[in-house]
Structure 1
Amino acid sequence: MNMRSAKTWFVTLAMLLLLPGCWDTKDINKQYLPVVMGVGKGSTEKYKVILQIPDASGRTQILEKESKSISKAIDLIRTDSEKSIELVHLRLLLIDRQVAEQGIVNIINFAVRANDISIKGLVGVIDGDFEKTMYHQISPTPEISSYDFFSQDAGWTPNQSIVRIWEAYQNQNSYTEDMAIPMLKNGERTLFTFKGTAVMRDDRMVGTLSKEETLLFNLFKGKYSGGTIEVAQNTSVLIQDAHIKHQTQWSEKGPSIQTNVVLDVVITESPEGKGNGVIEKEMQEQLSQQFNRTVRKIQSLKSDVLGIGMIFRPQLTEENLKKWKTKWFPKLEQKINVRVNILNEIYFKESANDNENQGQMIKK
């Protein structure tokens, strides 16, 4: 073999050695891919971890273990499992209310630090029987998963809050904002029933918001699309657009803020003869009262879930920034004014001469 051929063989061999290869690949049939993880209070240990693993038929397999730490509980599940446990498809992290009231900092920190868990995963609080909710199943439906309950492309509405793992981590370490976590329990004919929102102060649950009160939270977060408001009996409107402006002031007494909310709505249902002006007035009065009650309730919980501190952040010194939740937020004076614009009215009109009684849409 001449020198040129030897060099060619040497270069070829070196390139082959540099190829990554597929020696560490795993057969998907030898893996369990949980999509939901539940973390509750164990009967003998600090945590009980429950994993929901769907299969192609739409059924769900449940695996669980207890331990002093979440990572150890998952390791124990792996030990007794006939397949490897991979968390790369985890979409939903559910936390028992008892655990949430004691603090979730360890749970969120674990989820963020775990290399195989996506920080885009959603977080929820189970209000009710933890095991019953985690083990609850409905008839096999391969196209429906637990995390669809929170999907804005599926059944989500502005009466439900939504928070991802990275947002929970950010908020529990924030000087100027607290988090709101959706609350649920097992449904009768559905996987879950939405109950409202868990209000957190730092990493602990300190109160709740009803579904109606959650609407204000989502308005502040810009998540209002598709929201339906019932104004009075037989009168409902659909939110098309929302505009929010804040006027802030800082006096010797402390911070104050006036929030002006303008809602563009479409009437979806109303009694015959009830004018747009009457509906607008009713909505403005009702929502202003409701929103102001909600902000007073939130302030009594000493939890800045609306993120008012973020609005004042440019005006805060570093010292006041650190004291926002403990000193300044409890002194905050906040008022909300609501104005409503009706874009059009939708109703069905039956014509006496129309034998088919077809509905017509009339725009005003």
Structure 2
Amino acid sequence: MISKLLKTLLVTALMCMLLAGCWDTKDINKQYLPVVMGVGKGESEKYRIVLQIPDAAGKTQILDKEASSISKAIDLIRTDSEKSIDLVHLRLLLIDKQIASEGIENLINFSVRANDISIKGLVAIIDGNFEKTMYHQISATPEVSSYDYFSQDAGWTPNQSIVRIWEAYQSLHSYTEDMALPMLKNGERTLFSFIGTAIMQEDRMVGTLDQEETLLFNLFKGRYTGGTIEVAQNTSVLIDNAKIKHHVNWREQGPLLQTEIKLNVLITESPEGKSTSIIEKELREQLSKQFNDTAKKIRSFESDVLGIGMLFRPRLSEEQLKEWKSKWFLKLEQEIDVKVNVLNEIYFKENATDQQEQGRMLKKEAK
């Protein structure tokens, strides 16, 4: 009898242990799950935090508070909210341009240290009216989210830069690389309108690149899928493949980087009668100039967003490594040469041959 009672108690205890893991579950209907957090300057406090919370109907609820710190503003939002707020689904961190100009180290460190914020979330800068951009909504479209504008499987193109929270944190603590953040404002018929890229020096915004320069920046970094380049005289090409080879050299006067970029392109639009050789020549000359001008512009901001220091890192001593951004990068000489190969010349010839063959067959059938 005692043995049977012990067995019953043991089984009951084991069942209780299995059930104990579910004690802290939360009803999803009692939670707010923000996907976008905006950080701007408050009117009376240092920070203004705006959270965007989508619902199943495609509408967005906005929660907004000011405080002297980011965590305090979020706590104030939680205090006034009728539901609990969980930041685990936060996908996009939008920073006002004024905050970016003053420094974002505190914000990035907070995002990394917070237990409920994913470091895979994306970072961007609002260049325009912060409140208007954060409160801007378009017609209810549940299948479209703010994240899609940065997703390489959706709306992203190489004319937009892309940086995740962990990448921003890594750049802040790197001796040899700075970050470039996408810049946007509210769109008219779309959620966002992309302006270009913010060039960061350490944690502060020091300059900008337009959309064409951003395309070249992404191409240099190996992100070119879907990139379209417009050449003179109504000609456009699509980048099919890019191979980039760097040659580094350290001379007495400082570092020298020679970069060779080989592009395979497809002609998407061209005037009739314009030969492939002319298109290749125009594109090679145009891109070589644009690449070198963009690289020179970036160096003028004393910001290594291209990550050139990473190429020289194996050659640098510990002391040179620490001085890379402040001393050696400023002495860098950089040369970029572009080579272009048009792929669809054969396609045009084959297409013409096929059309001729089809014409012969139709004539035979007519007879």
Match of 1:222 in 2: 222
Question: Structure 2: how far apart are the matches of 1:141 and 1:244?
Answer: 40
Q: CA RMSD in A?
A: 1.7
Counterpart of 1:112 in structure 2: which amino acid? V
Deviation (angstroms), 1:232: 1.3
Deviation (angstroms), 1:13: 3.6
SS where residue 140 of structure 1 aligns? Answer: coil
Show CA shifts across 1:274-319 (max 9, x none). Answer: 0000000000000000010001110010000000000000001111
Any stretches of 5+ residues in structure 2 without a counterpart? Answer: 359-367
Counterpart of 2:36 in structure 1: which amino acid? V
Normalized against structure 1, the TM-score is what? 0.94
Work out the percentage of aligned pairs sharing the same amino acid: 72
Counterpart of 2:273 in structure 1: which amino acid? G
SS where residue 8 of structure 1 aligns? Answer: helix
Match of 2:165 in 1: 165
- 1:294 equivalenced with 2:294 (yes/no): yes
Extract structure 1 runs of 4+ deviating beyond 4 A. 345-349
Deviation (angstroms), 1:173: 0.7
Show CA shifts across 1:26-83 (max 9, x none). Answer: 1111111100000000001010000000111101010000001111100000000111
SS where residue 329 of structure 1 aligns? Answer: helix
- 1:154 equivalenced with 2:154 (yes/no): yes
Deviation (angstroms), 1:146: 1.1
Match of 2:326 in 1: 326
Any stretches of 5+ residues in structure 1 without a counterpart? Answer: 355-364
- 1:11 equivalenced with 2:45 (yes/no): no
Match of 1:360 in 2: none
SS where residue 21 of structure 2 aligns? Answer: coil
Question: Structure 2: how far apart are the matches of 1:331 and 1:112?
Answer: 34
Normalized against structure 2, the TM-score is what? 0.93
Deviation (angstroms), 1:25: 1.0
Match of 1:359 in 2: none
Match of 2:95 in 1: 95
Match of 1:60 in 2: 60
Q: Which has the higher helix share?
A: 2
Question: Structure 1: how far apart are the matches of 2:149 and 2:195?
Answer: 13
Counting only pairs closer than 5 Å after superposition, residues 98-177 of structure 1 correspond to structure 2 as 98-177=98-177
SS where residue 277 of structure 2 aligns? Answer: helix
Deviation (angstroms), 1:219: 1.5
Match of 1:179 in 2: 179
Deviation (angstroms), 1:155: 1.3
Counterpart of 1:301 in structure 2: which amino acid? F
Counting only pairs closer than 5 Å after superposition, residues 131-280 of structure 1 correspond to structure 2 as 131-280=131-280
Show CA shifts across 1:71-126 (max 9, x none). Answer: 11000000001111111110000000000000000111111111111110000000
Match of 1:38 in 2: 38
Show CA shifts across 1:140-176 (max 9, x none). Answer: 1101111111111111111110000000000011000
SS where residue 177 of structure 1 aligns? Answer: coil
